[in-house]
Structure 1
Amino acid sequence: MQSDRRIVTTGACIIVLALGAGCARERPAEPAQNPPAVEHATTQVKAVKEPKCSLAWKAHGHTTQSEAKTFANACLTAEDGAVDVRMTPGQVRSKLATLLPPDHALPAMVPADIDTFCPGYAAASPAGRAHFWQELMTAMVSPESGYKTKTSYWEKGQDQYSLGLLQLSYNDKYSYRDASIPGCEFTTEAQVTDPDVNLQCAVKIMTKVVKKANVIGGDQSRLTRGGANYWSTLRMTSDARPPIIAATRSIPVCQQN
């Protein structure tokens, strides 16, 4: 999957619940149908380390998002033993504090649109800047997955599932293989639902895309630059973006004196 994987999603995320459902892109309503049997997960598998659930659903032929999610839920558990827990914002924030210390590459960056997300960032210490990035990614988890580690979404334009807290895909292991070690080295799709692995990879992706574009949430010339290249929740057109910005601007380090 290319680094602009989110460009193929149909619009920006529009549902924002503090502990709600997964990231909902703008898409037409789909008729409810009976979900397919999980047997499809085994009939199309070529090797144990391939994204078996994505391959199986692709072979089945996508029908509705509801059916795709039902299938993923059963397939990931049956084939790989996915992690299925509902975390709290505090738990996510704690994990990100470990992954994003003051000496991480992100706090050294000053994105062009940082004042939108954190007016006090430029004058902040490395620790304060790290706190901003931790808060930003914690806030993003809410619209992306509702803090549920097993959240899935079928990306029709990519023929694969986005999974976990920050809706990553198995094929990110190829798109971000040049990220510093450890990167996004998934061995199964179920591993993407592991919160530690998912957040670790998400930090790697955020670091790479922000460094490349020097923006977090795109700009008027291109809405899908920086972090918005991967996560539609950060795009200017997303209904999820204002609550994310409100969350980051509320922390002390982001408030100008």
Structure 2
Amino acid sequence: MAWDHQGPHTDEWTEATLAALQTEGAALLSQVPHDIGSWCPGYVDAPPRERAAFWAGLLSALARFESTWNPHAVGGGGQWFGLVQISPATARGYGCEADSGAELTDGAANLACAVRIAAQTVTRDGVVAAGGGGFAADWGPFASAEKRQQMAAWVSSQDYCRRQG
């Protein structure tokens, strides 16, 4: 994951994200978003394990821009919290377990909430982030062409996104 070099706690983040993808994020694993080719060329033919790795990898890349991988980051004058900067109101709106600023600064809880949000928006919009949908509906870095390109370049270069054959 993009955060692997940030210390031993990142294993917990990865495990929590992958676990959330098996439960509240399961819809993501069966989806083939319309814009997946620009994010993960091998996704269509990938087994569920590699599809889950893609979504976890994308969240790890997003966390770079949202918090520089700091689970205790608070932005927007106290509005957004944690690794991927979720507001408590957004967390409550999506039914996340972690729905307070303090709870959202727990890395694993923040990422589980992010998976819950993404499962709803990607499924609803049918895209990873095209046209302001999917991830772009809730996370600002997807509105920046430069940041979107950097995230796509990183995630598409990972083994789980390479086309097999």
TM value normalised by structure 1: 0.56
Task: Map 1:110-129 onto structure 2 (within 5 A).
Answer: 110-129=32-51
2:85 to 137, 150, 167: 167
RMSD: 2.6
Q: Distance in 1 between matches of 2:15 and 2:127?
A: 25
Residue of structure 2 equivalent to 1:130: 52
Q: Structure 1: 5+ residue runs without aligned partners?
A: 1-17, 20-84, 178-182
Structure 2 segments unaligned to the other structure (5+ residues): none
What's the secondary structure of 1:122's corresponding residue? coil
Counterpart of 1:243, as a letter, is Q
- CA displacement 1:49-71 (0-9 Å, x = unmatched): xxxxxxxxxxxxxxxxxxxxxxx
Normalising by structure 2, report the TM-score: 0.85
Q: Deviations over 1:76-118 (max 9, x none)?
A: xxxxxxxxx9776554323312222398221100000000100
Which is greater in Rg? 1
User: In 1, are the aligned partners of 2:81 and 2:105 still within 8 Å (CA)?
Assistant: yes
In structure 2, distance between residues paired with 1:239 and 1:91: 29
User: What one-letter code is carried by the residue in structure 2 that aligns with 1:233?
Assistant: P
Letter in 2 for 1:96: T
Match 2:127 to one of 215, 240, 247: 215
Say if 2:148 is the partner of 1:241. Answer: yes
Contact 1:216–1:227 at 8 Å: present in 2 too? Answer: yes
Pairing 1:226–2:138 present: no
Q: How many residues align?
A: 161
Identity of aligned residues (%): 28
Which shows bigger deviation, 247-256 or 102-111? 102-111
3-state SS of 1:120 partner: coil
Secondary structure in structure 1 of the residue aligned to 2:14? helix
After TM superposition, give the deviation of residue 214 of structure 1 in Å.
0.4
SS in 1 for 2:160: helix
Aligned to 1:42: none
Distance 1:122 1:164 in 2: 31
Q: Take 2:74 and 2:155, find their aligned partners in 1: how far apart are those partners?
A: 26
- Alpha-carbon offset, residue 174 of structure 1: 3.4
Structure 1 residue runs of 4 or more that deviate by more than 3 Å after TM superposition: 85-91
